[in-house]
Amino acid sequence: MNPKKEPGSSYLGTLGAPTLPQWLNGPMPQGFPWGNRTAGGTNPYDDFPDTGVTRYYNWEISNQTISPDGVPVSGIVVNGQFPGPTIEANWGDWVEVTVTNNLPDEGTTLHWHGLLLKGMQWMDGVPSIEQCPIPPSQGSNTFTYRFQAEMYGTSWWHSHYSAQYAGGAAGPIVVHGPNHVNYDMDLGPVLMADWYHQPYEVLIEEVLRPNNSGIIPPSNNNLINGKNNYPCNQTTLSCTPNSGVSQFRFQSGKSMRLRLVNHGAEAGQKFSIDNHSFQVIANDFVPIVPYNTDNIVLGVGQRADIIVNGTGKPTDAVWMRALGCGTSDGISSEALAAVYYENAGNTTIPATSNPTGETCSPVALSAGSETPYYPIAAGDPSTTISVNIAQHSNGTHLLWYMNNSSFRGDYNSPTLLEAKVGNLTFAPERNVYNTGSNSSVRMIWYNHVEGEPHPMHLHGHNIFVLATGFGEYDGHIDGDPSNPTRRDVAMLAGAQDANTPSYLVTQWNQDNPGAWPFHCHIAWHISTGFLVQVLERPDDVLNLNIPSTFAQTCRDWAAWTNTHVPDEIDSGL
């Protein structure tokens, strides 16, 4: 089963990967690092701790040939690892990540998915919206992000420059916090992603090929923690057979936490473990009322924390599965990982089968109980915005349009920095929605395009997910209006037909002044313009204390672009 650590990979998915503690720094005589805050008794948006502790990371981003499935491809790695390093902190800790861009000819930024960044809005890491890219030029290619882990649970970080994360620039975030369900062991992140045998730049060029009919690149494989085998007889590319799958060690009679993340480019991920059911305890950064199931489907960017009971015998070996629910070439759309109980040999090939089936329906992407453990009512919104989504050609390229405008960023003029100096006039293609000083905003998305569902992500907030359906939204709220679903990625279905759009009703409280992207998290869709910006409380943006390093990075980027032409063929994101 090839359990060794491979070049270009990380220790995730190896039997040498450590289990995670309940919190960092071991036992504390004064109690938990987050004090007496609990999952059910603390509003995490109003009352989060400040431990005064800083976790430091130093990262170098570079190109490297990697072979996650035995087929070499030019990828983007962080500190030579794919998946990238894990950020681990306690709730209320500070995190400082110093990033050096060693890519030869392109900028980069890093985004901390799902963190709200209150009081640190400028650290969100989106080029053209909160910052200029970190240039690749020596002497000015280093930038330090500093932010607080003010949410707890499981998430991921990734590059937000073009589709770099589809090439490998991504990794997990684990923030230890209060538990509302007991368990014995934390086995850490389980990252799931579709994978491609071409560099991300080639894929972007294909997406933006003139007169493309809307076909997006089919993935070639699916990965769990950066690993899977590939049938080498199905390709003319260089290929190493049986390159190895990820491995996990279960213990009989123990309960184990797994932290599921879909960090892929396009496909939803259907997760299951043969002969096992599990309890879902959190979606995104939101603890939920637990429910039991034998599979779960996550859209791109979504996470789920689960508890699996070790019901197998000490000698058992079973398959863990991640089935890609997206556009695949059909050769290898399911990732396998080997689960070994304590006395099973790590060269054993599991012989179990998949009782949940080899298909996944888009409906499953929003199925299941998602009742937040800490209840918060949405209330009536102060204002409502409708966004109509369409896809059509601009004459040469097929783009996504929101209210007849397709997004394109300006790397040299980030929205937040413009708003900070009082400039609130933006080009139409920036898709800026100034929501003013309203206390809450309801945004209704109408999708007029048939096809796959869209994972919709709002930065800077957990959104209330109030309703989904088809046709004209009639004002109803699905489920309990006193405690609707909250998460940072919600699924928007494809249109029912050419005349019947789908809708997704989202709402958020305007408690975080800034410029926040709201976009589809399918890499190929955001690259073709599927994004709006929410300019929240611009009067308060004027008072943000944005560090001078942001202006300096813009000067460095401008200096580099004076002598180099960035290959910005997509929206920039």
- Dihedral angle over CA of 293, 299, 303, 308, nearest 10: 20
Residue reference for tokens 């369900």: 181
Residue 40 belongs to some domain of the structure = no
End-to-end CA distance of the chain: 38
Residue range 102-110: mean pLDDT, rounded: 96
Please write the tens of the pLDDT for every residue from 306-365.
999 999 999 999 999 999 998 889 899 999 999 999 999 989 999 998 876 777 764 444
Sign of the alpha-carbon dihedral angle for 429, 430, 434, 440: positive
Residue 412 belongs to some domain of the structure = yes
- For residues 355 and 272, which has the higher predicted lDDT (pLDDT)? 272
Phi, psi of 222 (to 5 degrees): -135, 145
Is pLDDT of 1 > 60? no
Is pLDDT of 25 > 90? no
What total number of domains does the chain contain? 1
| pLDDT value of position 7 | 43
Is pLDDT of 454 > 60? yes
CATH of the domain at 545: 2.60.40.420
Is pLDDT of 460 > 60? yes
Contact 73, 46 (CB under 8 A): no
Residue 143 CB partners (closer than 8 Å, separation 6+): 98, 99, 101, 134, 549, 553
Number of Cβ atoms within 10 Å of the Cβ of 152: 25
pTM above 0.85, yes or no: yes
Q: Cβ-count burial of 371 within 10 angstroms (0-12 exposed, 13-18 middle, 19+ buried)?
A: middle
With a pLDDT cut of 70, the percent of the chain lying above it is 95
Residue 49 belongs to some domain of the structure = no
Residue 451 belongs to some domain of the structure = yes
Residue 458 belongs to some domain of the structure = yes
Residue 116 belongs to some domain of the structure = no
Q: Which helix (H) or strand (E) holds 181?
A: none
Question: What is the rounded distance in angstroms from the CA atom of residue 517 to the CA atom of residue 301?
Answer: 14
Sign of the alpha-carbon dihedral angle for 479, 481, 482, 488: positive
The neighbouring-strand residues paired with 444 are 386, 505
Full domain range(s) for residue 422: 383-563
Residue range 185-203: mean pLDDT, rounded: 97
Which of 262-271, 327-336, 466-475 is least confident?
Answer: 327-336
How far is CA 403 from each of CA 253, 288, 388, rounded to the nearest angstrom?
54, 34, 5
| pLDDT value of position 6 | 47
Residue 413 belongs to some domain of the structure = yes
pLDDT band at 187 (very low <50, low <70, confident <90, very high): very high
Residue reference for tokens 């009782």: 355
Question: What is the rounded distance in angstroms from the CA atom of residue 407 to the CA atom of residue 385?
Answer: 17
Q: Which helix (H) or strand (E) holds 526?
A: helix 523-526
Is pLDDT of 369 > 80? no
Residue 555 belongs to some domain of the structure = yes
Q: How many residues does the chain have?
A: 573
